[in-house]
């Protein structure tokens, strides 16, 4: 388990920190590229009426921006949310990093939509509903994986299974038992969450008919 924190946990935190500042790099890099291409098209002058292009279609591509790939933005948000909820109990520093990430994405996306891309198309709510459906199970991951990390005896009881040789793998002796300990409330909440989630998914139409809009 200590090796997990030193190898895997460190890489998770490092990657999340890099992802949190990456939106600014995308905005700045795309701005420089866009500015250089327009400057090159104007033959390195500031006169907007000078162009190297021979057709209006290519000129519009240079000066109107690219299409806004909103599905790619959703995937970035889902990635940060799911990783944070999956490992957040064992790595609590992921929660402020995720909040910092979402704040940076909000700022950068407003700049991108306002100044760098074409006007996004009018979409229905299907994409947003699909994202919410995927996030619906994230708290369940938080509770179950959180229980598994909190109930680890190597972390909280300093219990080790010693090895005879260096090339042997250390057994964790980590399994679900009937003991009541500090992680039991999380397991109870996890079981309740999976039951509640399953019922709402299976009987959603009936619940809505009875006035429970979930």
The full DSSP string for 7-57 is IIIHHHHHHHHHHHHHHHHHHHHHHHHHHHHHHHHTTSSS-TT--S-SSHH
Condensed to tens digits (0 to 9), the pLDDT of residues 9-48 reads 889 999 999 999 999 998 999 889 888 888 888 888 888 7
Measured CA to CA, the distance from residue 206 to residue 210 in angstroms comes to 6
44: left (phi over 0), alpha (psi -120 to 50) or beta: left
pLDDT of residue 6: 79
Give the mean pLDDT of 166-180. Answer: 66
DSSP 68: -
Condensed to tens digits (0 to 9), the pLDDT of residues 128-168 reads 888 888 888 888 888 888 888 888 777 766 666 676 666 66
Q: Count CB neighbours of 188 within 10 A.
A: 12
Which of 25-29, 71-75, 77-81, 106-110 shows the lowest per-residue confidence on average (mean pLDDT)? 71-75
Condensed to tens digits (0 to 9), the pLDDT of residues 120-137 reads 777 778 888 888 888 888
Give the mean pLDDT of 71-89. Answer: 88
How far does CA 130 lie from the centroid of its chain? 15
How far does CA 159 lie from the centroid of its chain? 34
Q: What is the pTM of this model?
A: 0.78
């Amino acid at each position: 388990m200590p090796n997990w924190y030193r190898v895997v946990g460190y890489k998770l935190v490092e990657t999340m920190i890099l992802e949190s500042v990456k939106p600014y790099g995308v905005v700045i890099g795309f701005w420089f590229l866009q500015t250089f291409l327009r400057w090159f098209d104007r033959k390195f002058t500031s006169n907007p009426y000078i162009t190297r292009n021979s057709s209006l279609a290519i000129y519009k591509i240079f000066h109107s921006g690219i299409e806004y790939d909103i599905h790619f933005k959703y995937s970035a948000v889902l990635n940060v949310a799911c990783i944070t909820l999956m490992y957040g109990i064992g790595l609590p520093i992921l929660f402020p990093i995720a909040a910092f990430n979402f704040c940076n994405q909000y700022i950068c996306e407003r700049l991108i939509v306002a100044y760098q891309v074409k006007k996004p198309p009018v979409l229905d709510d299907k994409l947003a509903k699909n994202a919410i459906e995927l996030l619906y199970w994230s708290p369940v991951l938080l509770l179950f994986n959180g229980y598994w990390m909190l109930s680890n005896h190597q972390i909280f009881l300093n219990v080790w299974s010693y090895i005879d040789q260096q090339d042997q793998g250390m057994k964790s002796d980590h399994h679900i038992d009937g003991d009541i300990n500090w992680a039991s409330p999380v397991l109870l909440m996890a079981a309740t969450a999976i039951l509640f989630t399953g019922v709402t998914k299976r009987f959603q139409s009936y619940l809505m008919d009875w006035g429970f809009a979930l």
